Amino acid sequence: MSSTSPAPASLADLVSPPADSAMRRSDFVFGCGTSSYQIEGAVHDDGRLESIWDRFSKTPGKVLRGETGDVACDHYHRLEEDLDIIQRLGVDAYRFSIAWPRVMDEAGRPNARGIDFYKRLLDGLGQRGIRAFVTLYHWDLPQHLEDRGGWLNRETAWRFADYADLMSRQLAGHGDVAAWTTHNEPWCAAYLGYGDGHHAPGLKSTRWAAQAMHHLLLGHGLALPALRANAPQAQHGIVVNMAPGYADSDTAADRDAAYLFETFQNRWALDPLLKGEYPAALWRYWKGSEPLVLDGDMDIIRRPIDYLGINFYSRAVLRSTGPDTVDWVRRDGVERTTMDWEVYPQGMQDLFEALKAEYANLPPIYVTENGMSSADEVQAGTVDDVQRQSYIKRHFAACSRAMHNGVDVRGYFIWSLMDNFEWAFGYERRFGLVHVDFETQKRTLKRSALAYADFLRERAAG
């Protein structure tokens, strides 16, 4: 909003979807999300084991300014305060992840002290009338499993299934778990972790990335039967990060570059999950990187899911630089976030409608992450994050248009509840609805959070 923009009729108008949007239905789920390593801290408390991010973040040169998640938002010790903030927002649901190293020992036995934290979290949500969307894996693999090969080791997929079975049994009867998610963004875990080394464990090989992805997806499929048996009342699915690709020009070569990008970014995960096969074009892009796939693997991976979570942030513009090669184009003069990602809400509508056209068996969609980083500061006790307010409103509108055109979207989670440890960028990039002073741990609701809460109150009032 510029200084000459008219004042909104209410604070809610800063972020709310259009008046005729299907997002305003009473059964549409609005929420916010976090992940364990990004907020919990307490990395040595109550028997928690080392994770790959503990090891990676302490490796010189891997994280901006050498920052770690040792303390993060100290959520482990500030649970009640944070639950009250979630309640103040008025969201229908809260999406969070379990720290695998916190709940099991090296022999796979339950760690009761760590599990108790998640029982208290779920009970606290339930007491406040907030549903839970529980993610099992948001990248913090126990280091002892990485020492045996991590996601390059097929055995890790089976250990993940054991972990899923344990947690869905241990947490039964606590709170209102509306959905279990196996993995958050397997693309990031596989490619950023094993392909380009930007994330833990920091390995660099496209062949390793392809094999890691296969074992991540295999673990997802192996976990589903236990999750369904232990939590039959919940939905069960997976969360993928996706971005539409646009050709830099209308040449056949640039259109093919956009197709190759979408194959790498989107179809690499979705085709195995929904079609039971890897896209052939991926091996044009990554020659000689095909993973080892055993008989029956793809049938396990393509087991039916109840929903597909999609994390959407931006788009990519592509040009061809030769046969089967792609170059990302950085356009000047466009709005960007402090992550240097272009703000392009229309990409959400385009992506969702393209998925509906491409996959006849596309499950219902939840927007499980959407948000932006900005250089937020507390001034006179407030944080007026103008760009985030506009970002949310425009993406709500894009989602609404896709729903109007027949895409089955059931819910929308803003990323994130609070500023936190943003992986390789440390604490510099702020995505939160709630500002966190990492020196004092003081939480301050930004104006986007206040507007979101006002919209949700107005919606609840009918």
Catalytic residue IDs: 369
Alpha helix ranges (H) inside 179-295: 186-187, 193-194, 206-230, 252-262, 268-275, 280-285
Q: With H, G, I as helix, E, B as strand and everything else as coil, classify residue 285.
A: helix
The SS3 of residue 368 is: strand
Residue from 19, 130, 18, 23 nearest 365 by CA: 23
Contact in structure between 377 and 439 (CB atoms under 8 Å): no
Tokens in use for 324? 């089967």
Closest CA to 273 of 191, 359, 350, 208: 359
φ, ψ for residue 387 (rounded to 5)?
A: -65, -40
Q: Is the peptide bond prior to 201 cis by the omega test (within 30 degrees of 0)?
A: yes
Query: 40: phi > 0 → left, psi -120 to 50 → alpha, else beta; which?
Result: alpha
What φ, ψ does residue 308 adopt, rounded to 5°?
-120, 120
Other CB atoms within a 10 A radius of the CB of residue 360 amount to 8
